[in-house]
Structure 1
Amino acid sequence: MSIGGAIVSQATAVAEQKFETITPDAALERLLDGNKRFIQQKSQHPHQSQTRLKEVAQVQHPFATILSCADSRVSGEILFDQGIGDLFDIRIAGNIITPEALGSIEYAAVNLNCPLVMVLGHERCGAVTAAVKGEPLPGQMSAFVKGIKPAISDIKGFSEEAVEKAVVENVKYQVHKMRLYSRLLSQLVDASKLKIVGGRYDLDTGEVVII
């Protein structure tokens, strides 16, 4: 090993020591505690310093993976009061499981030992609304509607109530799909090394409720 390589390895080892091991249940509690602070306007804005930048420059150990909707109002680090290196963010319209999203989640769980995955839907989701309406969409926007449709096959007609029910059903479906199509994640869950949960974010109150 070269001298330069040895220095990098040493720096990585030192950085590794700064991260604590956390259980799936503790990770979920940390997320929800952060959300409570956000709701109460008591956010602490942790891990946003130059020191934190240096800590995660060589290695990362996020304690939660968040699969959320591509929406300007649903920012994980803000609504859970977390900082740099805390959350492994994956964002896609409708918070749907695609092969690329699933591979990213597997990477966080297996390579980064991330103990928690949350599929986070939100109130008045535009992607879910489009799926419930069932109207033709231009360009590639029909792709995310296709990913939501199986979750809402029992929902008939269009209304605000139908959309809100569909938001919840879609989260449940994506959680199920994650377990169904990923042997890696299922094995970690069975070994109690990983927890997969669904959540709904309220745009009006800022509250995340576990589904």
Structure 2
Amino acid sequence: MLDGNARFVAGEPQHPHQDVERRESVADGQEPVAAIFGCADSRLAAEIIFDMGLGDAFVVRNAGQVVSDSVIGSLEYAVAVLHVPLILVLGHDSCGAVAAAIGSQAEDADPLPPHIAQLIAPIVPAVHRVGGDGAVDPAAIDAGEVGREHLRDTVSELLAQSEIIASAVAENTLAIVGANYRLAEGRVVPDVVVGMRD
């Protein structure tokens, strides 16, 4: 995957597994090399930034890569049924969900719509670890650091909330990597590794 990302960064993608033959070969089943749980941001298209194709990655996305029942169920399917050896949790800089979480903690913050407030609630603890307790000054907080803290929290949450995922890591059949995508340069930078590559 890092090789594919290097090709993407260099502007030399090979676009593998994107032809008619590949489409036909995976029609009856899939054996992805990894599950990728990333932000829904339109600039974070996993198969493109890793130069992958059909059947290569099992991709789950939502705004801010926030753990939910549907995310855990999807990733458990990838681990228990598809036997992926890797879950990549992929955050990025300039994340709107992170910005919303930071802004929601300002002293004069307007209430967010209920579903958005619920979505970003798991990011708020990272805001306070970076910015301190109580109301924060959004202009004074390093959003990148909040994003990195939230990324680490997300990896921890997957392990805490899923016995299937935690057991696979303990049995050394699964690794979880938390990484950040740098929008301007296109590079994926690993931040935390749990499991086989510890």
TM score, norm. by length of structure 2 = 0.88
Structure 2 counterparts to residues 23-38 of structure 1, below 5 A? 31-38=1-8
Residue aligning to 2:194: none
Q: Which runs of 5+ in 2 are unaligned?
A: 132-136, 192-198
Residue aligning to 1:95: 65
One of 153, 161, 181 as aligned partner of 1:173:
153
One of 75, 95, 113 as aligned partner of 1:105:
75
For residues 86 and 141 of structure 1, the distance between their equivalents in structure 2, rounded to whole angstroms, comes to 31
Cα displacement (A) at 1:153: 2.4
When the two chains are superposed, the root-mean-square deviation of aligned CA atoms in Å is 1.2
For residues 173 and 142 of structure 2, the distance between their equivalents in structure 1, rounded to whole angstroms, comes to 36
Residue aligning to 2:189: 209
Question: What SS class does the counterpart of residue 57 from structure 1 fall into?
Answer: coil
Larger radius of gyration: 1
Q: Which runs of 5+ in 1 are unaligned?
A: 1-30
> What amino acid is aligned across from residue 161 of structure 2 in structure 1?
Y
Residue aligning to 1:198: 178
One of 2, 8, 18 as aligned partner of 1:48:
18
> What amino acid is aligned across from residue 164 of structure 2 in structure 1?
L
Work out the number of aligned pairs and report it: 181
For residues 199 and 182 of structure 1, the distance between their equivalents in structure 2, rounded to whole angstroms, comes to 20
Residue aligning to 1:182: 162
Residue aligning to 1:159: 139
The ranges of structure 1 where at least 4 consecutive aligned residues each deviate by more than 2 angstroms after the TM superposition are 150-153
Q: Percent identity?
A: 39
One of 89, 98, 115 as aligned partner of 1:140:
115
For residues 81 and 123 of structure 2, the distance between their equivalents in structure 1, rounded to whole angstroms, comes to 28
8 A contact 1:132–1:162 mirrored in 2: no
Question: What SS class does the counterpart of residue 130 from structure 2 fall into?
Answer: coil
TM score, norm. by length of structure 1 = 0.83
For residues 70 and 139 of structure 1, the distance between their equivalents in structure 2, rounded to whole angstroms, comes to 19
Mark the CA change 1:182 to 1:96 in structure 2 (over 3 Å): closer, same or farther. Answer: same
For residues 29 and 45 of structure 2, the distance between their equivalents in structure 1, rounded to whole angstroms, comes to 23
Higher strand share: 2
> What amino acid is aligned across from residue 98 of structure 2 in structure 1?
V
Question: Which moves more between the two structures, 133-142 or 68-77?
Answer: 133-142
> What amino acid is aligned across from residue 197 of structure 1 in structure 2?
V
| CA deviation vs aligned residue, 1:160-190 (integer Å, no higher than 9, x gap) | 7521101101100000000011111111111
For residues 152 and 194 of structure 1, the distance between their equivalents in structure 2, rounded to whole angstroms, comes to 29
